[in-house]
Each structure stands twice: as structure tokens, then as C-alpha cells.
A and B are shown apart, each in its own frame.
Chain A
Amino acid sequence: MVDLMLLAPEIAIAVTGLFVLVTGIFMSPQAKNMLGYLATFGVLAALGLTVASFGTEAVMFSGTVSIDALSQFFKLVFLVVALLVSVAAIKYNEDSEHIEEFYALVLFATFGMMFVASANDLIVLFCAFELASLATYALAGYEKQNPRSLEAAMKYFVIGSVSAALMLFGLSFVYGATGTTSIPLIAANSGLLVDNPIGLVAVVLLIAGFGFKMALVPFHMWAPDTYQGSPSVVSALLAAGSKKMGFVAAFRVFIVALAALQPDWQLAFTILAVVTMTFGNVVAVSQTSVKRMLAYSSLAQAGYIAMAFVVMTPMALAGGILYALAHAFMKAGAFIAAGAVVWMVTSEKRGNLEVPDHLDNFKGLGTRMPIAAFAMMVFVFALAGIPPTAGFMAKFVLFSSTIQAGMIWLAVIAILNSALSLFYYARLVKYMYFLPPEGEKVGTPFPYALALLLAVAGVLVIGIWPEPFVQWAMEAASVLV
């Protein structure tokens, strides 16, 4: 008998999603605003259930779903992002008529991500992956009247489909060679893939499939357009949440299932990590749209996390996993702060309306929206890796493990990249605090402010009190090695 309680967080999310969708249909537009609070409550409940389940380990449904420290850690990451997005979206959706669709999609996407985190079978993994992807395709095009949003969704969808095909292709090779879709059994049979040309092809195809979500160069092309065009709260979900889905899937498939092919994928990730972080940081320098800049910075961050696959020591994996959590707070927060500015610009009809997230619209934000500006400053400094923030701790663990493993050249590249990134992050701070404001003080609306302060708290708590988080990340990493 399967103990369904083990899936309580997923069930809570799914039930909330369905409930929001169904009740929303029968509600008046005014009353729909409460759906946001309902969804937030559901996410909070799931978050509580996940934290309560820490320490349990189980394999369910004929070995296709595995509950362990790794899945729980990443569920935490996804739920944190979902929480921030749900809270911020209360304001974003204020005048929308489709609130129930928005929240249902966010919750279904989260549900999919959570299942990817605990998938122990390639079929489950793929289905959950697609569930999350399909929900986010629709979310990216949520602003139906906004051509940019539609363009973002279209590109995301086309590239997403290509990538899904590549991933499925790769999975089929793995299945063909090993005769099973169960991750532990593949691990046992993966000797069959070694010295087989199919092994390399499968690895690269899978990297392409997961790399689409992780936004690794050259599978990243959709990301800047989509992050910029989508509503900011959706960009937050994509950059902070769905990106991690790619990582957790890659952790399971490469490190657990395809451990025998380590030389192949390690080399591939080496190339991709270096190229991705450098490309992301360099291109971010010349961006004038803040969301686009954050998109490229997000590439760079993916490059850092991918270093975990290159170094492959338990400490490095813990660093990568911790980075995923830290990045969830800082990137989601940064996109939400950008969303607050977009809201300000569009509601005031003042400033650069063509590109509402243009750098010029951030001028003097420190006086116009003090909370949003302060939070944004914390996030970009965290992204740059300045103490005492989560970004610093994550980089510290990851980079020092790289040095310990003797890969000093990689650490040097990563650190130089971090230094380079400071240029465009500091520029944003300069716009917010050192340039005169163009317009009146607006203040940050409550839901945005709450989401931002939650994220700031997360960033600072991990930065100042890292022990428990490092400990969790170590436990999660111990599932892999």
C-alpha cells in the first residue's frame, strides 16, 4: 500500500490548482482577487508539508517516484519561487479577468517541477517535464494583447518543442541501449553505453534537452526574448523555478543514471559551463532592458551552477544545489522588482513605455519606490556574489570546492566572470540611487513589497546563517554520490 501522505505537498498543490480553476469560473471578476490569496495559502501549506517531511525517504509507485533529500530540497526551491510569484501576482493580476487561469497554470507548473524533482523513472520525468513546460508556455503568453508577450510565448514554445524532441530522442537511445526506463536500473546497466557511440549521442541530446531549461549556451536563444517579453512574474517563475527543473533532472539522469558515462558529460559540461558564464556576462554588459540583462545574468548563473557537474566532488554538488536555492530567491526577487517598475511605468504612463523595463525607467528608483529599489540592490549584489548575501555563500562554497578539487583554472574563469558581472549590476544600482528621479514618489504596492521583502529575507538569512542550508544541500548532494 502506497502511503499517499508522502506526496502531500504535490497533492496540496494540485488540489489548490484545480480548486482555483473551478471556483474561478463561477466567481465575479471582483471576487476573483481572493484567488491569489487562496493560491498563496496552498503554496504555503505545501511548503510546510515539504519542510515537515524532511528526513523521510521512500520509493513509491513501483519505483518510479523517489522521495529523498534531493527531491525535497528542490521541492523547497520550487515552492519558494511559487510562493514569491503567487504573492507578487496578487498585484499583477489586480485588473485581470483570467486570474483563475493564471494561478492554475502557476500551480500546475509547480506541480510538474516538483514531480521532476522526485522522478525516478525516465517516463515520469519526461511527463512531468512536459507538464511544467506546457503550463509555462501558456503563462509566457498570458498578456494576450501584448505582442511581445505573444512573441515570447511563441519562441519559447517552438524551441521548447524542438528541445523536448531532442530530449525524447536521447531518452530513447538510453532506453534502447539499457532496456529500461528506471533510473536505478539504468545505472546498473549503464556499462552497456560505455564504448558505444550511442552513449555520447544520447548524452549530448539529453544535455540539449535539459540545457534548454537550464538555458545553457547554445540552447539559450529563447531565454532573453522570453524573459523580456513575458510578464515579470512569469519570468521570475521561468528563471528561478523552471531553470532548476533542468538542473535537478540533469542531476538525476547524468550523475545517478549515466554515472558510467561521466567522462563524456563532464567534458561537455566543462565546455558549456565556461562558454555559458562568459557569454552571459559579456552580453549582459550591453543590455539596456533590465529584464533582458537579468536574462543574460541568468545564463551566467546557470554556467556557475553547471560547474557542479564539472567538479563533481560532494562539496561542489552541495555548492551547486545551494546555488539553486540562493538563485531562486535572488532571481525571482529581481524579476519581481523589475515587475514593480513595469507596473509603475505602465500605470503612470510616463517614461519609456516602449520598453517599460528600460534602464532609464529605473532612474532615481531609490526615492520613487524605496522598498523595490532597496530589494533590487540586495538582489543584484547577491547575484554578483557580495557578502553577506546568499549569492556570496553559494559562490563561496562552489568556487572553493573547485579550488580544492584542483581545478584552479575553472575557479579563475568563474571569479573573473563574477568581477565582470559587477559592472552591469553596479550600473543598475547607480541608476537607482545616483541618478535623479524622473517622476513622483510612487511607493511599492503591498503584494510586491511583501514578495520582495520575503526574498530579501531569504537572501540575507542564507548569507548570514548558512549552516543549516549548507547542511541540507550536503544531504541532498549525498543522494547523488
Chain B
Amino acid sequence: MALEELAFLIPVLPALAFVITFFFGKKLPSGGAIIPIAAIAASFVISLMITLGLLANPEEVVSQSVSWFAVLNLGVLIDPLAAVMLCMVSFVSLLIHIYAVGYMSHDPAKPRYFAETALFTAAMLSLVLSDNILQLFVSWELVGLCSYLLIGFWFAKPSAASAAKKAFLTTRIGDVMFLTGIIVLTADLMKLAGGFTDGVYLLRFDEIFSYIPELSAMQANFLGFEVSHLTIITLLFFGGAVGKSGQFPLHVWLPDAMEGPTTVSALIHAATMVTAGVYLVARTFPMFIAAPDSLMVVAYFGGFTALFAATMGIVMNDLKRVLAFSTISQLGYMMLGLGLGATIGLEAVGVSLFHLINHAFFKALLFLCAGSVIHAVGTHDMRELGGVAKVMPITAATMTAAALSLAGFGIPGTSIGTSGFFSKDPIIEAAYLLGEHNGNWIPYIFSILAALLTAVYIFRLIFMTFAGKPRSNYGGHESPSSMTIPLSILAVFALVFGGLTRTGFMEFLEETFTNSFVNVDIGSLAGLGEYEIVHAAGHEPLLILWLPVIIALAGLGISFVLYYLKAVDLGAVASMKNPVYKLLYKRYYQHEIFTEFFSIGVVYGVVAFLTQVVDVIIDSIVEAIGIVTVAAADALRRVQTGVVQTYASVVIAGVGLLIILVKLIMEVL
């Protein structure tokens, strides 16, 4: 099919749109928004067509490669995993671009905005399409750069500028780990393959996966433990994912990232970029499953993050911050889902990615609804809102739909339920299976508690914002149709996408690692990783199947009682005198611990000390070199007298000198 030949256009079109909008945006109507919208729409259509083709024939993945720097390659790989991500990224990005036409209409820097979001989309699509780890890393960095630029979009605002820096520096920790992982992997592969051979792209995923057994057999001594190289590499990759996907303890940048325009929060910090970490783990899943302990680490971090972030979500008063913590928490679920590959094997990829896609829909929707409220009302402090449903009925209805999906309402055993229900439940059930088979109940406890808190915080948000009477004097009106239409489309997806696609989706994704490009035997790899895989999902006791829904209902009930009926006076509980509230409100003192104590106190202190000592030494060396160079330059410059007779003499003298020198050295040697 000729369309597959066009796969490389998927990232290239938005990249071209970036160039055009960046340079000529000022001269185009509405800041050149039409160019990225058209480009991304084209990317979406191509992605969708390829995905539909792939659905019919999942074995025949699209794979194109061209050689780059002789032993590396640039390539396109669209397998089921990449296909669903591509469709999701281009679709969400397209809707958000359309929405931004209305949202950013008053901003003078529109061309820059649309150029940067177009570049971001290009980078993200190229990340997803990469058929080799290096290209993935390059796009990964580009995505990080765009995130930095967009968080600091209103760079004149000090809080935005510092949030941008914080995001960039925090994710950098993860990026360095990821890069280290790539370096270790490359070194190992070169050792195993006996160096680079022309035409064999060692860093392409099929080559990497074919060396998994050898990598797993390589042992290294690390702090007295015998560790497989594969475990080290995968944990380093996971480190990168922790940074990008805002997992504990590198999640601190994500709430601050809400300083950017709300559309950016929706595009980057909710739906797409933050899923890159999850995607990385899913993409290299065969490596993770063959590495002992790595998946368990992923599961623990994911489960803990899901719970930890949800506790903070409960006490935030800023609309966007609640959503930011919710994002962290849901990303935790996705990581947990992947980590549960330890029990359910390849199904984990399907489960986790399914949640990723559903989350993209309902979280983008939540953010855009929040944006719609902020755009109309001008504040994002929920304590000043209330009763917004009366002025903004469409926004209120769509946001409630998203909340239902996030909380995961549905009826187990049937096809009735929100998207979030069909993807979050399997993760919780898989966590139960882990407990049942390995006696390890911690991930399950994390996930079920987080589910309760999720329902509480999201309905707290709904009740505080939309219900009751206005608590301040805000104006406000329903947003223009360029904003409400994307909202309605997303609301439909948030409600029914999961129910319609659930079985097909997971089966489709299971083809990711057995097709014309790669063919790995997950069973034998799991043997290398010493994981015991069971395929018994769906046979849990009835209570376990119903528990998440009951929990979600309980959460809704709690919120209803506390924030709608106001049956309990929260003033006493929600005050700084209450140590628990204060702990949560202060976000576990992360700012104090990570930023003020660790970053500013320890790191900056050490750096400041070193600057004083080392800088003096290095400075004096550098300055000495500088002085010598400048002095030499000055002296040598005078050789250039400008008199042509001198020049001719130098030429002749040079000839003589050179003959003597060469002769002398030849004699001596």
C-alpha cells in the first residue's frame, strides 16, 4: 500500500509547519495557526489510515530505515504500539490546536506559540515512530526542550521562568540516566556483536531484542551484588521514564509546569509528553521482562506514585494543580500496569497503553474544561468559584463526564462503563493477581487506596467549581464554539471509547512484539527474568471485581457529603493547625526537602564551595592561557609588517629554513 511509504511524513509535516509558522506566522491570519492544524490533521489522517491497515493485518508492520552516519539509522516503525500512540498524539494535538485558536486569541505571541506546539508535536511523533533507541532519545530531548519553551511561554512572569527551569533540570536527571543506559547498552552490544558492521544497525530495536539473552547473561558486580547488565540498563531506562513521566521522586516539576498556557498543560503535561516515559518502558518491554527485579521496581514506583500524588490532589485549591497531581497519579497507574507484566506478561503492555490512551482523552478534556473555566472566569482558585455550571453548562457537563471516566465508573462483567473504568480496573485486578500468586499485596493496596482518593479529589473539584453558589463576583460566559466543540468530541471519547474498543485494543497490542519486524518469545524471556506468568485474569472473586467501583462510589459519596452538603465543617480539619492537612498541603515538604534543602542547600552549597576553590585554580589557568595567547597574538601580529619586501624575504627564508629543518630532523631520526 502506497500510504505506508508516506509514514515518514507523519513527523515531517508538523516540523515543516513549525518552520513556516515560526518565520512567517506574523503575516498569516490568527498567528499562522492554520498551518500546524493542517499539517497535524494530515499526520493524523496518515496515522489513522496506517493504523486501520495494521488492524486488518497486524503482522505486517510498517518499517523503513535509512542509514545515518554509516552505522546508525533513521527509521520509521509503526507496529500496533506505535500506531495507537500516533493516532492518540496526533488526534489530541489536533483538537488542542483547534481549541487554542480560541484560547490564545488575545495573545500577541501567537506565532511563537503555534510554532512551538507544532515542533513539540513533530518531536513527539518522531519519538513514537523511532525504530531505534538513539533516534528515540534525540526526539525525547527535543520534546523536553519544547516543554521547557512552552512552560516558560510567558517568560516575563518570574514564576513561569522558574517553573520552566525546574522542569528542565528535574527531567534532566532522568535524561542523564536514560543516556547512560543507552551508552551501557551500546558498549555491551558492540562487545557482543564484535564492533559495528556496515548495514547492521545495532541500536535498532529488532537488533537489541535479539541480543537480550546474551545481555541478560552478562553479570556485573554492583555494590557487592551480582546484577545482570540487562537489569542495570532497564533500570537506567526506567530512570529516564521516571523523569519524563513525573514519577516519584522526580515528579516535582509537573505541578509547577502548569505555569504555561492551559492548552500546553493539556497537550504536554497531561496527554502526550508525560506518556513518553510509559511509552519507553512499553517499547523496551521485552528487555524489562527478561531482567530480574526491574519490573517489580517499576510496579512499586508506579503504585506508590499513584497513591502519593492522589493524597496531595485532595487538598489543592488550584484547579490546574489538582489536575496536575491527578496526572501524576494516573501515570503511576500506567507504570504499575507495565510493572505487573511480572504476573500477566505481555498483557501488561495492552492494559497500560489502554489506560494511557483513555487517560489522554479524559485528562485532555479535564484540562481543556479547566482552561475554558479559567478563560471565562479569570481565576483558577476553586475557593473563588462555585456555581459555574449555571453560566457554562457545556463545560460543566463535559467536565463531569471526564470526572466519571477518571474515577472509573462502570459495571463489571458488562460493556457498560466509562473509558477510565475499562482501563483502570484491569490494572487493579492485575495487582490483585500479583498478590494472589506472589503473596505481594503492596501494589494492590496502593492501587485500591489511590482509586478511593481519585474519586474524592475529582468530585471535590467538580462540586467546588460547578455546584453551589458563586463564592466571588466573577463574570463569565460559555466559551466560543472553537473551544466547546473539541470539548464535546473529547467527552464522547472519554465516555465510550473504552467500552467500544476494550477487547480489540488489548489483542491488537499483543501483536507488538510478534510481527514482521520483531518476533520475541515473551514466555522464554520471562523465564530469564524469573517471572511466573499467569493468564487467569477475569476469574477473581466477585468482590474483587466490584471493589474498585464500590470504592469509587464511596469516594463520590464522601465528596458529596463534604463539599456539596457541607455536612461536616471542614474549617477545623482543613487548617494549618492540623498536621496531616499541613503535611499534604505543603506537599510533604517536597519543596523544602528537594528544592531548598537538597538543591539549594546541598548541591548549590557544594557547587558554591567548589566554585570558590576550583574556579580560582581553573580560572587562573584559563586566564594564563588567555594572556599568553593574546600576548603571543600581539607579538606575532607585528610580524605582519605590511611591507611586501619583508613578505618575499620571509618566503625565501622559509624555504631555506624548511630545507635545513627537514634535513636535520631526518638525520637525527
* Chain A residues close to B by CB (< 8 Å): 154-155, 158-159, 162-163, 166, 200-201, 203-205, 207-208, 212, 218-219, 221-222, 224-225, 263-264, 267-268, 271-272, 279, 282-286, 420, 423, 465-467, 470
Q: Is residue B666 contacting chain A, with contact meaning CB distance below 8 A? A: yes
The 8 closest A-B pairs by CB, nearest first: A218-B654, A221-B647, A286-B633, A285-B633, A204-B659, A208-B655, A155-B644, A204-B658
Q: Which residues of A contact B640 (CB under 8 A)?
A: 221, 224-225, 283
Nearest Cβ distance between residue B658 and chain A, in whole angstroms? 5
Given that A268-B662, A467-B67 are known contacts, is A221 also in contact with B646, CB under 8 Å in the complex?
A: yes
In the complex, the answer to whether A200 meets B653 with C-beta atoms within 8 Å is no
In the complex, the answer to whether B650 meets A467 with C-beta atoms within 8 Å is no
Beyond A208-B655, A218-B651: 8 further Cβ-contacts under 8 Å?
A166-B651, A201-B659, A204-B662, A221-B647, A272-B658, A283-B640, A465-B68, A470-B70
Q: Which residues of A contact B647 (CB under 8 A)?
A: 155, 158-159, 221-222
Q: Is residue B624 contacting chain A, with contact meaning CB distance below 8 A? A: no
Given that A155-B644, A264-B662, A267-B665 are known contacts, is A283 also in contact with B651, CB under 8 Å in the complex?
A: no
Kindly report which residue of chain A lies nearest to residue B656, judged by CB atoms: A204
Kindly report which residue of chain A lies nearest to residue B634, judged by CB atoms: A286
Q: Is residue B632 contacting chain A, with contact meaning CB distance below 8 A? A: yes
Nearest Cβ distance between residue A313 and chain B, in whole angstroms? 17
Given that A218-B651, A420-B629 are known contacts, is A467 also in contact with B69, CB under 8 Å in the complex?
A: yes
Kindly report which residue of chain B lies nearest to residue A370, judged by CB atoms: B23
> How far, in angstroms, from A224 to B639 measured CA to CA in the complex?
12
Kindly report which residue of chain B lies nearest to residue A279, judged by CB atoms: B636
Given that A159-B644, A208-B654, A263-B666 are known contacts, is A285 also in contact with B659, CB under 8 Å in the complex?
A: no
> How far, in angstroms, from A123 to B632 measured CA to CA in the complex?
42
Q: Which residues of B contact A201 (CB under 8 A)?
A: 659
Q: Which residues of B contact A282 (CB under 8 A)?
A: 629, 632-633, 636
> How far, in angstroms, from A282 to B630 measured CA to CA in the complex?
7
> How far, in angstroms, from A212 to B654 measured CA to CA in the complex?
11
For residues 619 through 669 of chain B, which have their beta carbon under 8 Å from a beta carbon of chain A? 629-630, 632-634, 636-637, 640, 642, 644, 646-648, 650-655, 657-659, 661-663, 665-666
Given that A163-B651, A208-B655, A218-B651 are known contacts, is A271 also in contact with B661, CB under 8 Å in the complex?
A: yes
* Chain B residues close to A by CB (< 8 Å): 67-70, 629-630, 632-634, 636-637, 640, 642, 644, 646-648, 650-655, 657-659, 661-663, 665-666
Kindly report which residue of chain A lies nearest to residue B625, judged by CB atoms: A420
Q: Which residues of A contact B70 (CB under 8 A)?
A: 467, 470
Q: What are 13 inter-chain pairs, A to B, with CB distance below 8 A?
A: A159-B647, A162-B651, A200-B662, A203-B662, A225-B642, A264-B662, A271-B661, A271-B662, A283-B636, A283-B640, A285-B630, A286-B633, A423-B629
Nearest Cβ distance between residue A277 and chain B, in whole angstroms? 13
* Residue among B67, B642, B655, B657 making CB contact with A166, cutoff 8 Å: B655
> How far, in angstroms, from A208 to B659 measured CA to CA in the complex?
11
Q: Which residues of B contact A203 (CB under 8 A)?
A: 662
Nearest Cβ distance between residue B533 and chain A, in whole angstroms? 44
> How far, in angstroms, from A203 to B637 measured CA to CA in the complex?
29
Kindly report which residue of chain A lies nearest to residue B655, judged by CB atoms: A208
In the complex, the answer to whether A162 meets B655 with C-beta atoms within 8 Å is no
Q: Which residues of A contact B655 (CB under 8 A)?
A: 166, 204-205, 208
Q: Main SS of the interface on chain A?
A: helix
Nearest Cβ distance between residue B317 and chain A, in whole angstroms? 42
Q: Which residues of B contact A159 (CB under 8 A)?
A: 644, 647-648, 651
Nearest Cβ distance between residue B287 and chain A, in whole angstroms? 29
* Residue among A207, A222, A283, A423 making CB contact with B658, cutoff 8 Å: A207
Q: Which of A263, A283, A470 has the most CB of B within 10 A?
A: A283
Nearest Cβ distance between residue B653 and chain A, in whole angstroms? 7
In the complex, the answer to whether A285 meets B648 with C-beta atoms within 8 Å is no
Q: Which residues of A contact B637 (CB under 8 A)?
A: 283, 286
In the complex, the answer to whether B650 meets A218 with C-beta atoms within 8 Å is yes
In the complex, the answer to whether B69 meets A466 with C-beta atoms within 8 Å is yes
In the complex, the answer to whether A285 meets B629 with C-beta atoms within 8 Å is yes
> How far, in angstroms, from A239 to B633 measured CA to CA in the complex?
21
> How far, in angstroms, from A304 to B658 measured CA to CA in the complex?
19
Nearest Cβ distance between residue B404 and chain A, in whole angstroms? 49
Nearest Cβ distance between residue A206 and chain B, in whole angstroms? 10
Q: Which residues of A contact B642 (CB under 8 A)?
A: 225
> How far, in angstroms, from A450 to B505 measured CA to CA in the complex?
52
Q: Which residues of A contact B68 (CB under 8 A)?
A: 465, 467
Nearest Cβ distance between residue B143 and chain A, in whole angstroms? 18
Q: Which of A219, A263, A279, A286 has the most CB of B within 10 A?
A: A286
Q: Which residues of B contact A155 (CB under 8 A)?
A: 644, 647
> How far, in angstroms, from A205 to B651 measured CA to CA in the complex?
10
Nearest Cβ distance between residue A420 and chain B, in whole angstroms? 7
> How far, in angstroms, from A159 to B650 measured CA to CA in the complex?
10
> How far, in angstroms, from A263 to B661 measured CA to CA in the complex?
13
Q: Which residues of B contact A264 (CB under 8 A)?
A: 662, 666
> How far, in angstroms, from A286 to B647 measured CA to CA in the complex?
20
> How far, in angstroms, from A282 to B640 measured CA to CA in the complex?
14
Q: Which residues of B contact A423 (CB under 8 A)?
A: 629
> How far, in angstroms, from A283 to B631 measured CA to CA in the complex?
10
In the complex, the answer to whether B644 meets A267 with C-beta atoms within 8 Å is no
> How far, in angstroms, from A282 to B655 measured CA to CA in the complex?
23
Nearest Cβ distance between residue A149 and chain B, in whole angstroms? 15
Q: Which residues of A contact B650 (CB under 8 A)?
A: 218, 221
In the complex, the answer to whether B658 meets A162 with C-beta atoms within 8 Å is no
Nearest Cβ distance between residue A412 and chain B, in whole angstroms? 15
In the complex, the answer to whether A267 meets B633 with C-beta atoms within 8 Å is no
Kindly report which residue of chain A lies nearest to residue B67, judged by CB atoms: A467
In the complex, the answer to whether A267 meets B648 with C-beta atoms within 8 Å is no
Q: Which residues of A contact B652 (CB under 8 A)?
A: 162
Given that A218-B653, A221-B640 are known contacts, is A200 also in contact with B648, CB under 8 Å in the complex?
A: no
Nearest Cβ distance between residue A427 and chain B, in whole angstroms? 12
Kindly report which residue of chain A lies nearest to residue B661, judged by CB atoms: A271
> How far, in angstroms, from A267 to B659 measured CA to CA in the complex?
11
Nearest Cβ distance between residue B73 and chain A, in whole angstroms? 11
> How far, in angstroms, from A225 to B636 measured CA to CA in the complex?
15
Q: Which of A201, A285, A470 has the most CB of B within 10 A?
A: A285
Q: Which residues of B contact A268 (CB under 8 A)?
A: 658, 661-662
Nearest Cβ distance between residue A354 and chain B, in whole angstroms? 15
* Residue among A212, A267, A279, A466 making CB contact with B651, cutoff 8 Å: A212
Kindly report which residue of chain B lies nearest to residue A218, judged by CB atoms: B654
Q: Which residues of B contact A158 (CB under 8 A)?
A: 644, 647-648
Q: Which residues of A contact B659 (CB under 8 A)?
A: 200-201, 204
> How far, in angstroms, from A263 to B70 measured CA to CA in the complex?
33
Q: Which residues of A contact B646 (CB under 8 A)?
A: 221
Kindly report which residue of chain B lies nearest to residue A205, judged by CB atoms: B655
Q: Which residues of A contact B651 (CB under 8 A)?
A: 159, 162-163, 166, 208, 212, 218-219, 221
> How far, in angstroms, from A212 to B655 measured CA to CA in the complex?
11
In the complex, the answer to whether B654 meets A286 with C-beta atoms within 8 Å is no
> How far, in angstroms, from A263 to B669 measured CA to CA in the complex?
11
Given that A283-B637, A286-B634 are known contacts, is A267 also in contact with B662, CB under 8 Å in the complex?
A: yes
Nearest Cβ distance between residue A438 and chain B, in whole angstroms? 25
Q: Which of B647, B657, B663 has the most CB of A within 10 A?
A: B647
Kindly report which residue of chain A lies nearest to residue B652, judged by CB atoms: A162
Q: Which residues of A contact B665 (CB under 8 A)?
A: 267
> How far, in angstroms, from A154 to B659 measured CA to CA in the complex?
28
> How far, in angstroms, from A306 to B659 measured CA to CA in the complex?
18
Q: Which residues of B contact A225 (CB under 8 A)?
A: 640, 642
Kindly report which residue of chain B lies nearest to residue A159, judged by CB atoms: B647
> How far, in angstroms, from A423 to B666 measured CA to CA in the complex?
36
> How far, in angstroms, from A159 to B642 measured CA to CA in the complex?
12
Kindly report which residue of chain A lies nearest to residue B626, judged by CB atoms: A423
> How far, in angstroms, from A218 to B630 measured CA to CA in the complex?
20
Given that A204-B658, A218-B651, A271-B661 are known contacts, is A286 also in contact with B630, CB under 8 Å in the complex?
A: yes
Nearest Cβ distance between residue B67 and chain A, in whole angstroms? 6
Kindly report which residue of chain B lies nearest to residue A158, judged by CB atoms: B644
> How far, in angstroms, from A271 to B662 measured CA to CA in the complex?
9
Kindly report which residue of chain B lies nearest to residue A161, judged by CB atoms: B648
> How far, in angstroms, from A163 to B658 measured CA to CA in the complex?
15
